[in-house]
């Protein structure tokens, strides 16, 4: 693929958090939240990033934006490695990369009006020259997310959960970014409202040519919006491919188990649910070899000894599993 088609490319990204103990708070180990992952996102596409809670997907999103500092690796965005940028350069780059958080209740300042919340990034990046221009711009952004002028003077507590997430989307859109990282943007919302917010995000993507990294713990949520899907388990990406291919031909046993858990509309259709034993192991001391081996229904001797390579098995269908070799 031509480099210019990739808006974002992550190479061997690691994010380890030190574990401190004792009176002197010595480092006694590391939580390997993100452990050597590589992927790219094409211009204008949505990459869904899926996995159970604690698998490192939110840490991945935050590390890309440098809200958390990477332990090592490369994050290429518009031709520059973000990890080489100083604070000032990174601040101006942030205009291009915005984030929408899971909890619209917690991520909006309760003491600010909607006009203040959506207008703040315009001020930070000097995108408006006076109050009138700011007001007009905020009005126009609110309209694009389905809110109106009369909402401008209201405070976050006066809105429903779905409307609050629309305000979160408006704030992200305000600076006209090219990439939006959505960190479980609909998980806190009712199912009926989830679809509205996802549809809105799709409409905005088409209108503004946005590129999304859409993080969720549920494959059924990312199914609708994603072009490609990456499945994460305990700090590693275990499978990544085009959406239809993933649903039709899941290669990794973990992906197969996630897919088997999705309810199907047809009550007469048969589906065997794959129940995984045990909980996700600790990322402080992850299992040897394939990290999924203690829970994998198809584990072999080699699985606890050797880490499977993350490889392309044709047509950009990447997976890491010894069964495929
Ligand atoms: Fe299961 Fe082994 Fe494949 Fe890991 S490498 S997913 S343990 S079969």
Per-residue pLDDT reduced to its tens digit, 103-113: 777 888 999 99
Does the beta carbon of 216 sit less than 6 angstroms from any atom of ligand 1? Answer: no
What digits encode the pLDDT tens for the residues 72-99?
999 999 889 999 999 999 988 999 999 9
Task: Give pLDDT, residue 265.
Answer: 63
- pLDDT at residue 4 greater than cutoff 70: no
Q: Are 178 and 207 in contact (CB under 8 A)?
A: no
Instruction: For residue 55, give every residue at least 6 positions away whose Cβ sits within 8 Å of its Cβ, in sequence order, or none.
Output: 232, 233, 234, 235, 280
What digits encode the pLDDT tens for the residues 172-203?
999 999 999 999 888 888 888 999 999 999 99
Lowest-pLDDT choice from 69-73, 249-253, 260-264, 309-313: 260-264
Work out which ligand 1 atom sits closest to the CA atom of 253: 6
CA 245 to centroid of ligand 1, rounded, Å: 20
Task: Kindly report the number of other CB atoms within 10 A of residue 125's CB atom.
Answer: 15
Q: Are 178 and 210 in contact (CB under 8 A)?
A: yes
Of 84, 118, 80, which is closest to residue 96 (Cα–Cα)? 80
When computed from its CA atoms, the radius of gyration of the chain, rounded to whole angstroms, is 21
Average pLDDT over residues 294-320: 96
Average pLDDT over residues 11-22: 95
Task: Give pLDDT, residue 277.
Answer: 77
Average pLDDT over residues 127-149: 94
Work out which ligand 1 atom sits closest to the CA atom of 302: 2
Task: Give pLDDT, residue 266.
Answer: 61
Residue 315's pLDDT band, with cuts at 50, 70 and 90, is very high
Task: Give pLDDT, residue 261.
Answer: 82
Average pLDDT over residues 224-241: 97
Question: Is pTM beyond 0.85 here?
Answer: yes
Does the beta carbon of 16 sit less than 6 angstroms from any atom of ligand 1? Answer: no
Task: Give pLDDT, residue 313.
Answer: 97
What gap in Å lies between CA 114 and CA 100, rounded to an integer? 16
Average pLDDT over residues 132-152: 95
Does the beta carbon of 142 sit less than 6 angstroms from any atom of ligand 1? Answer: no
Does the beta carbon of 302 sit less than 6 angstroms from any atom of ligand 1? Answer: no
76: left (phi over 0), alpha (psi -120 to 50) or beta: beta
Q: In 43-107, which ranges are E strands? A: 46-50, 72-77, 80-81, 97-100
What digits encode the pLDDT tens for the residues 111-123?
999 999 999 999 9
| Average pLDDT over all residues of the chain | 92
Give how far Cα 171 sits from Cα of 122, 147, 201, 205, 241, Å: 9, 12, 13, 15, 31
Nearest CA to ligand 1 atom 7: 293
CA 252 to centroid of ligand 1, rounded, Å: 8
CA 217 to centroid of ligand 1, rounded, Å: 21
DSSP state of 167: H
- pLDDT at residue 3 greater than cutoff 60: no
Tokens of 136: 């007009």
Give how far Cα 87 sits from Cα of 179, 199, 296, Å: 19, 35, 43
Residue 9's pLDDT band, with cuts at 50, 70 and 90, is very high
What gap in Å lies between CA 41 and CA 64, rounded to an integer? 12
Does the beta carbon of 274 sit less than 6 angstroms from any atom of ligand 1? Answer: no
End-to-end Cα separation, the chain, in angstroms: 25
Order of all β-strands in the sheet with 46-50: 97-100, 179-183, 211-216, 46-50, 228-233, 236-242, 318-319, 311-312
Average pLDDT over residues 215-225: 90
Residue 152's pLDDT band, with cuts at 50, 70 and 90, is very high
Give percent of the chain with pLDDT exceeding 70. Answer: 96
Average pLDDT over residues 217-230: 92
Task: Give pLDDT, residue 268.
Answer: 63
CA 107 to centroid of ligand 1, rounded, Å: 38
- pLDDT at residue 273 greater than cutoff 90: no
């Amino acid at each position: 693929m031509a480099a210019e088609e990739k808006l974002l490319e992550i190479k061997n990204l690691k994010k380890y958090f030190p574990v401190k103990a004792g009176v002197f708070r010595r480092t006694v180990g590391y939580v390997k939240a993100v452990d050597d992952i590589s992927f790219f996102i094409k211009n204008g596409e949505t990459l869904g990033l899926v996995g159970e809670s604690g698998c490192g997907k939110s840490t991945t999103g935050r590390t890309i934006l440098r809200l958390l500092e990477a332990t090592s690796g490369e994050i290429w965005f518009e031709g520059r490695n973000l990890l080489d940028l100083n604070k000032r350069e990174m601040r101006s780059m942030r205009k291009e990369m915005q984030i929408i958080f899971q909890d619209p209740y917690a991520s909006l300042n309760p003491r600010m009006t909607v006009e203040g919340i959506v207008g703040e990034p315009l001020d930070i990046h000097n995108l408006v020259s006076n109050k009138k221009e700011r007001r007009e711009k905020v009005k126009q952004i609110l309209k694009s997310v389905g809110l109106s002028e009369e909402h401008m003077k209201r405070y976050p507590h006066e809105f429903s959960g779905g409307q609050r997430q629309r305000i979160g989307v408006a704030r992200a859109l305000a600076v006209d970014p090219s990439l939006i990282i959505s960190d479980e943007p609909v998980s806190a919302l009712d199912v009926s409202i989830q679809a509205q917010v996802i549809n809105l995000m799709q409409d905005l993507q088409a209108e503004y040519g946005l590129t999304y990294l859409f993080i969720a713990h549920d494959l059924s949520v990312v199914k609708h919006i994603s072009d490609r899907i990456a499945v994460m388990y305990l700090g590693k990406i275990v499978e990544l491919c085009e959406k239809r291919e993933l649903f039709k031909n899941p290669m990794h046993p973990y992906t197969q188990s996630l897919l088997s858990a999705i309810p199907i509309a047809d009550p007469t259709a048969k589906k065997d649910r794959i129940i995984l034993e045990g909980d996700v192991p600790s990322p402080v001391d992850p299992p040897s070899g394939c990290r999924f081996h203690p829970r994998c229904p198809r584990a072999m001797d080699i699985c606890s000894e050797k880490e499977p390579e993350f490889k392309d098995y044709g047509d950009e269908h990447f997976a890491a599993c010894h069964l495929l070799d």
